[in-house]
Amino acid sequence: APAILGVILLVGAIWVVRSEFRHLRIEDIAKAIHAVPLPALVRAGIFTVLAYGVLTLYDFLGTIYAGRKVPYSRVAFASFCAYALSHNLGFSALSGAAVRYRLYALWGLTPSQIGKLVAFCSLTFGLGGMVLGAIILFFEPTAVPLIGTRFPVQLLNIFGAILLGIVIIYITIARIVRRFQLFGHSIELPGIRMAILQVLLATADVAVTAAIFYALLPEEESLTFLRFLAVYVVAYSAGLAATLPGGIGVFDSAMLLGLAPYVEPPAVVSAILIFRLYYYVIPLFLAATLFALNEVLLRARPLLYPA
Protein backbone atom coordinates (compact mmCIF):
# COMPACT_ATOMS: atom_id res chain seq x y z
CA ALA A 1 0.00 0.00 0.00
CA PRO A 2 2.75 2.57 0.80
CA ALA A 3 4.47 1.76 -2.50
CA ILE A 4 1.23 2.22 -4.47
CA LEU A 5 0.51 5.49 -2.65
CA GLY A 6 4.03 6.68 -3.41
CA VAL A 7 3.59 5.98 -7.13
CA ILE A 8 0.21 7.76 -7.20
CA LEU A 9 1.63 10.82 -5.44
CA LEU A 10 4.68 10.86 -7.72
CA VAL A 11 2.54 10.70 -10.87
CA GLY A 12 0.39 13.54 -9.53
CA ALA A 13 3.52 15.53 -8.69
CA ILE A 14 4.91 15.07 -12.21
CA TRP A 15 1.65 16.34 -13.68
CA VAL A 16 1.62 19.40 -11.39
CA VAL A 17 5.30 20.24 -12.01
CA ARG A 18 4.81 19.82 -15.76
CA SER A 19 1.82 22.18 -15.83
CA GLU A 20 3.51 24.74 -13.55
CA PHE A 21 6.89 24.70 -15.27
CA ARG A 22 5.34 25.11 -18.71
CA HIS A 23 5.08 28.84 -17.99
CA LEU A 24 8.40 29.20 -16.17
CA ARG A 25 11.76 30.17 -17.60
CA ILE A 26 15.15 29.34 -16.14
CA GLU A 27 16.00 33.04 -16.30
CA ASP A 28 13.03 33.90 -14.07
CA ILE A 29 14.06 31.30 -11.48
CA ALA A 30 17.69 32.47 -11.51
CA LYS A 31 16.51 36.06 -11.05
CA ALA A 32 14.32 35.00 -8.10
CA ILE A 33 17.27 33.19 -6.47
CA HIS A 34 19.48 36.27 -6.80
CA ALA A 35 16.65 38.38 -5.36
CA VAL A 36 16.73 36.51 -2.03
CA PRO A 37 18.41 38.98 0.37
CA LEU A 38 21.45 37.99 2.41
CA PRO A 39 19.65 38.44 5.79
CA ALA A 40 17.03 35.93 4.63
CA LEU A 41 19.75 33.42 3.74
CA VAL A 42 21.36 33.92 7.15
CA ARG A 43 18.03 33.47 8.96
CA ALA A 44 17.34 30.29 7.00
CA GLY A 45 20.79 28.98 7.92
CA ILE A 46 20.19 29.68 11.62
CA PHE A 47 16.81 27.95 11.49
CA THR A 48 18.45 24.95 9.81
CA VAL A 49 20.96 24.58 12.65
CA LEU A 50 18.13 24.96 15.18
CA ALA A 51 16.03 22.36 13.37
CA TYR A 52 18.76 19.71 13.50
CA GLY A 53 19.49 20.73 17.08
CA VAL A 54 15.87 20.03 18.03
CA LEU A 55 16.08 16.64 16.31
CA THR A 56 18.99 15.65 18.53
CA LEU A 57 16.66 16.06 21.51
CA TYR A 58 14.36 13.42 19.97
CA ASP A 59 17.16 10.89 20.32
CA PHE A 60 18.25 12.17 23.72
CA LEU A 61 14.76 11.65 25.17
CA GLY A 62 14.54 8.37 23.27
CA THR A 63 17.62 6.97 24.99
CA ILE A 64 16.15 7.91 28.38
CA TYR A 65 12.87 6.21 27.43
CA ALA A 66 14.82 3.13 26.27
CA GLY A 67 16.46 2.94 29.69
CA ARG A 68 20.02 3.54 28.55
CA LYS A 69 21.14 7.15 28.80
CA VAL A 70 23.90 7.99 26.31
CA PRO A 71 26.18 11.08 26.46
CA TYR A 72 24.65 13.95 24.50
CA SER A 73 27.70 14.28 22.20
CA ARG A 74 27.14 10.72 20.96
CA VAL A 75 23.39 11.19 20.73
CA ALA A 76 23.85 14.36 18.66
CA PHE A 77 26.21 12.56 16.29
CA ALA A 78 23.85 9.59 15.83
CA SER A 79 20.79 11.81 15.43
CA PHE A 80 22.40 14.11 12.87
CA CYS A 81 23.70 11.21 10.77
CA ALA A 82 20.40 9.31 10.98
CA TYR A 83 18.16 12.25 10.08
CA ALA A 84 20.41 13.75 7.39
CA LEU A 85 20.72 10.39 5.65
CA SER A 86 17.08 9.32 6.06
CA HIS A 87 15.79 12.69 4.83
CA ASN A 88 17.64 12.12 1.57
CA LEU A 89 17.32 8.35 1.16
CA GLY A 90 13.61 8.06 1.91
CA PHE A 91 11.99 5.20 3.87
CA SER A 92 13.14 6.98 7.03
CA ALA A 93 11.79 4.22 9.27
CA LEU A 94 14.35 1.89 7.67
CA SER A 95 17.28 4.09 6.65
CA GLY A 96 17.32 6.13 9.87
CA ALA A 97 16.83 2.98 11.93
CA ALA A 98 19.78 1.29 10.20
CA VAL A 99 22.11 4.19 11.02
CA ARG A 100 20.89 4.25 14.63
CA TYR A 101 21.31 0.50 14.99
CA ARG A 102 24.88 0.67 13.72
CA LEU A 103 25.89 3.46 16.12
CA TYR A 104 23.87 2.73 19.22
CA ALA A 105 24.78 -0.97 19.12
CA LEU A 106 28.43 0.07 19.29
CA TRP A 107 27.61 2.07 22.43
CA GLY A 108 26.04 -0.86 24.22
CA LEU A 109 22.32 -0.57 23.50
CA THR A 110 20.46 -3.82 22.89
CA PRO A 111 18.29 -4.34 19.77
CA SER A 112 15.21 -4.00 21.99
CA GLN A 113 16.41 -0.66 23.38
CA ILE A 114 17.25 0.62 19.89
CA GLY A 115 13.80 -0.44 18.70
CA LYS A 116 12.18 1.53 21.52
CA LEU A 117 14.31 4.56 20.66
CA VAL A 118 13.37 4.42 16.95
CA ALA A 119 9.67 4.01 17.77
CA PHE A 120 9.87 6.92 20.22
CA CYS A 121 11.41 9.23 17.58
CA SER A 122 8.86 8.24 14.92
CA LEU A 123 5.90 8.77 17.24
CA THR A 124 7.26 12.11 18.46
CA PHE A 125 7.28 13.65 14.97
CA GLY A 126 3.68 12.56 14.36
CA LEU A 127 2.51 14.24 17.56
CA GLY A 128 3.94 17.59 16.45
CA GLY A 129 2.25 17.37 13.08
CA MET A 130 -1.10 16.67 14.74
CA VAL A 131 -0.79 19.61 17.15
CA LEU A 132 0.07 22.08 14.38
CA GLY A 133 -2.59 20.56 12.14
CA ALA A 134 -5.19 21.12 14.85
CA ILE A 135 -4.08 24.74 15.36
CA ILE A 136 -4.28 25.38 11.62
CA LEU A 137 -7.73 23.78 11.29
CA PHE A 138 -9.00 25.91 14.19
CA PHE A 139 -7.56 29.29 13.17
CA GLU A 140 -6.78 29.14 9.42
CA PRO A 141 -8.84 26.25 7.99
CA THR A 142 -9.35 27.88 4.59
CA ALA A 143 -5.56 28.05 4.05
CA VAL A 144 -5.25 24.25 3.87
CA PRO A 145 -4.53 23.37 0.20
CA LEU A 146 -7.21 21.51 -1.80
CA ILE A 147 -9.67 20.99 1.07
CA GLY A 148 -9.69 24.39 2.79
CA THR A 149 -12.16 25.98 0.38
CA ARG A 150 -14.11 22.83 -0.50
CA PHE A 151 -15.38 21.80 2.91
CA PRO A 152 -17.37 23.72 5.53
CA VAL A 153 -15.26 25.45 8.14
CA GLN A 154 -17.18 23.67 10.90
CA LEU A 155 -16.20 20.28 9.46
CA LEU A 156 -12.53 21.28 9.33
CA ASN A 157 -12.79 22.51 12.93
CA ILE A 158 -14.14 19.10 13.94
CA PHE A 159 -11.26 17.37 12.19
CA GLY A 160 -8.86 19.67 14.04
CA ALA A 161 -10.54 18.75 17.32
CA ILE A 162 -10.07 15.05 16.47
CA LEU A 163 -6.33 15.59 15.89
CA LEU A 164 -5.98 17.47 19.16
CA GLY A 165 -8.07 14.81 20.89
CA ILE A 166 -5.66 12.08 19.72
CA VAL A 167 -2.76 13.96 21.29
CA ILE A 168 -4.67 14.52 24.54
CA ILE A 169 -5.66 10.84 24.65
CA TYR A 170 -2.02 9.83 24.17
CA ILE A 171 -0.90 12.08 27.05
CA THR A 172 -3.74 10.79 29.24
CA ILE A 173 -2.91 7.15 28.51
CA ALA A 174 0.76 7.86 29.24
CA ARG A 175 -0.38 9.17 32.62
CA ILE A 176 -2.69 6.30 33.49
CA VAL A 177 -1.30 3.25 31.68
CA ARG A 178 2.43 2.61 31.81
CA ARG A 179 2.49 -0.86 30.22
CA PHE A 180 0.17 -2.95 28.04
CA GLN A 181 0.27 -6.04 25.83
CA LEU A 182 0.09 -5.80 22.03
CA PHE A 183 0.35 -8.91 19.81
CA GLY A 184 2.15 -10.74 22.59
CA HIS A 185 4.66 -7.94 23.18
CA SER A 186 4.87 -5.80 26.30
CA ILE A 187 4.73 -2.10 25.34
CA GLU A 188 5.88 0.47 27.89
CA LEU A 189 4.64 4.03 27.47
CA PRO A 190 6.62 7.07 28.61
CA GLY A 191 5.29 8.91 31.66
CA ILE A 192 3.19 12.03 31.38
CA ARG A 193 6.19 14.37 31.65
CA MET A 194 7.95 12.61 28.81
CA ALA A 195 4.76 12.60 26.73
CA ILE A 196 4.28 16.35 27.20
CA LEU A 197 7.93 16.94 26.28
CA GLN A 198 7.39 14.86 23.15
CA VAL A 199 4.47 17.03 22.07
CA LEU A 200 6.27 20.33 22.74
CA LEU A 201 9.48 19.18 21.10
CA ALA A 202 7.79 17.85 17.98
CA THR A 203 5.68 20.99 17.58
CA ALA A 204 8.82 23.14 17.83
CA ASP A 205 10.61 20.89 15.33
CA VAL A 206 7.97 21.22 12.60
CA ALA A 207 7.59 24.98 13.20
CA VAL A 208 11.35 25.67 13.06
CA THR A 209 11.82 23.55 9.93
CA ALA A 210 8.95 25.40 8.25
CA ALA A 211 10.60 28.69 9.25
CA ILE A 212 13.61 27.79 7.07
CA PHE A 213 11.40 27.82 3.97
CA TYR A 214 9.33 30.81 5.11
CA ALA A 215 12.47 32.92 5.58
CA LEU A 216 13.38 32.36 1.92
CA LEU A 217 10.08 33.65 0.51
CA PRO A 218 9.53 37.30 -0.44
CA GLU A 219 7.55 39.26 2.12
CA GLU A 220 3.85 39.05 1.41
CA GLU A 221 1.38 40.59 3.85
CA SER A 222 -1.37 38.06 3.11
CA LEU A 223 0.95 35.08 3.70
CA THR A 224 1.15 34.88 7.47
CA PHE A 225 3.33 32.21 9.08
CA LEU A 226 0.23 30.27 10.17
CA ARG A 227 -1.13 30.24 6.62
CA PHE A 228 2.26 29.15 5.36
CA LEU A 229 2.30 26.37 7.98
CA ALA A 230 -0.99 25.07 6.55
CA VAL A 231 0.69 24.62 3.17
CA TYR A 232 3.96 23.30 4.57
CA VAL A 233 2.44 20.65 6.86
CA VAL A 234 0.30 19.27 4.03
CA ALA A 235 3.23 19.30 1.58
CA TYR A 236 5.66 17.71 4.02
CA SER A 237 3.11 15.05 5.02
CA ALA A 238 2.52 14.21 1.36
CA GLY A 239 6.28 13.91 0.84
CA LEU A 240 6.57 11.54 3.80
CA ALA A 241 3.62 9.46 2.58
CA ALA A 242 5.30 9.06 -0.82
CA THR A 243 8.41 7.56 0.92
CA LEU A 244 10.53 9.16 -1.82
CA PRO A 245 13.99 10.59 -1.06
CA GLY A 246 13.30 14.01 0.42
CA GLY A 247 9.71 13.77 -0.82
CA ILE A 248 11.20 14.85 -4.16
CA GLY A 249 8.58 16.07 -6.59
CA VAL A 250 5.63 15.50 -4.25
CA PHE A 251 6.68 18.06 -1.63
CA ASP A 252 7.73 20.54 -4.33
CA SER A 253 4.51 20.32 -6.33
CA ALA A 254 2.40 20.62 -3.18
CA MET A 255 4.30 23.77 -2.19
CA LEU A 256 3.85 25.23 -5.67
CA LEU A 257 0.12 24.59 -5.59
CA GLY A 258 -0.40 25.73 -2.02
CA LEU A 259 1.60 28.95 -2.33
CA ALA A 260 0.24 29.90 -5.76
CA PRO A 261 -2.35 32.37 -4.31
CA TYR A 262 0.36 34.24 -2.40
CA VAL A 263 3.73 34.06 -4.19
CA GLU A 264 4.83 34.00 -7.83
CA PRO A 265 6.02 30.54 -9.01
CA PRO A 266 9.65 31.60 -9.70
CA ALA A 267 10.02 32.80 -6.10
CA VAL A 268 8.54 29.52 -4.81
CA VAL A 269 10.92 27.46 -6.95
CA SER A 270 13.93 29.48 -5.76
CA ALA A 271 12.85 28.95 -2.13
CA ILE A 272 12.46 25.21 -2.78
CA LEU A 273 15.96 24.96 -4.27
CA ILE A 274 17.64 26.87 -1.43
CA PHE A 275 15.58 25.01 1.19
CA ARG A 276 16.71 21.69 -0.26
CA LEU A 277 20.31 22.89 -0.29
CA TYR A 278 20.14 23.96 3.36
CA TYR A 279 18.03 21.18 4.86
CA TYR A 280 18.96 18.23 2.65
CA VAL A 281 22.10 18.56 0.53
CA ILE A 282 24.58 20.25 2.91
CA PRO A 283 23.59 18.09 5.93
CA LEU A 284 23.80 14.99 3.72
CA PHE A 285 27.41 15.71 2.75
CA LEU A 286 28.34 16.54 6.34
CA ALA A 287 26.62 13.45 7.77
CA ALA A 288 28.01 11.11 5.11
CA THR A 289 31.53 12.43 5.74
CA LEU A 290 31.23 12.12 9.52
CA PHE A 291 29.70 8.65 9.31
CA ALA A 292 32.41 7.46 6.91
CA LEU A 293 35.17 8.88 9.14
CA ASN A 294 33.64 7.12 12.12
CA GLU A 295 33.66 3.81 10.24
CA VAL A 296 37.28 4.31 9.16
CA LEU A 297 38.36 5.08 12.73
CA LEU A 298 36.52 2.03 14.05
CA ARG A 299 38.33 -0.23 11.60
CA ALA A 300 41.69 1.44 12.13
CA ARG A 301 41.56 1.17 15.93
CA PRO A 302 42.52 -2.56 16.09
CA LEU A 303 45.51 -1.82 13.84
CA LEU A 304 46.66 1.17 15.89
CA TYR A 305 46.04 -0.47 19.25
CA PRO A 306 46.46 -4.25 18.81
CA ALA A 307 45.42 -6.38 21.75
- pLDDT (tens digit per residue) in 288-301: 888 888 878 777 66
What pLDDT score does 66 carry? Answer: 85
Give 279's contacts (C-beta < 8 A, 6+ positions apart): 48, 51, 87, 209, 212
Lowest mean pLDDT among 67-71, 150-154, 175-179: 175-179
- Is the per-residue pLDDT at 184 higher than 90? no
- Is the per-residue pLDDT at 189 higher than 80? no
Angle between helix 250-259 and helix 2-21 axes, rounded to 10 deg? 50
Handedness of CA 288, 294, 296, 298 (dihedral sign): negative
Q: What radius of gyration do the chain's Cα atoms show?
A: 21
The mean per-residue pLDDT over the stretch 111-136 comes to: 84
Model confidence pLDDT, tens digit, residues 190-229: 778 888 888 898 889 989 999 999 999 998 888 899 999 9
In percent, how much of the chain has pLDDT > 70? 82
Give 248's contacts (C-beta < 8 A, 6+ positions apart): 239
What pLDDT score does 68 carry? Answer: 83
What pLDDT score does 43 carry? Answer: 94
What pLDDT score does 15 carry? Answer: 56
75, 152, 289, 290, 302 from 293: Cα distances, Å: 17, 55, 6, 5, 15
- Is the per-residue pLDDT at 168 higher than 60? yes
CA separation for the pair 166, 199 (Å, rounded): 12
Give 189's contacts (C-beta < 8 A, 6+ positions apart): 173, 174, 177, 178, 179, 180, 195
More confident residue, 43 or 306: 43
Model confidence pLDDT, tens digit, residues 66-123: 888 889 999 999 999 888 888 777 656 566 778 888 888 888 888 888 888 888 887 7
Nearest Cα to Cα of residue 29 among 253, 274, 280 = 274
- Give the up-direction half-sphere exposure of residue 148: CA atoms within 13 A in the CB hemisphere: 18
CA separation for the pair 99, 114 (Å, rounded): 11
Model confidence pLDDT, tens digit, residues 238-286: 777 766 666 777 788 888 888 888 988 888 888 988 898 899 888 888 8
**Residue 189 CA to its chain's centroid (Å):** 23
CA separation for the pair 102, 285 (Å, rounded): 19
What pLDDT score does 209 carry? Answer: 93
- Is the per-residue pLDDT at 30 higher than 80? no
What pLDDT score does 96 carry? Answer: 75
What pLDDT score does 17 carry? Answer: 55
CA separation for the pair 132, 225 (Å, rounded): 12
What pLDDT score does 44 carry? Answer: 93
- Angle in degrees, CA 49, 53, 58, rounded to 5: 150
More confident residue, 23 or 65: 65
What pLDDT score does 12 carry? Answer: 53
Contact 78, 99 (CB under 8 A): yes
Lowest mean pLDDT among 130-134, 158-162, 187-191, 202-206: 187-191
The mean per-residue pLDDT over the stretch 142-167 comes to: 86
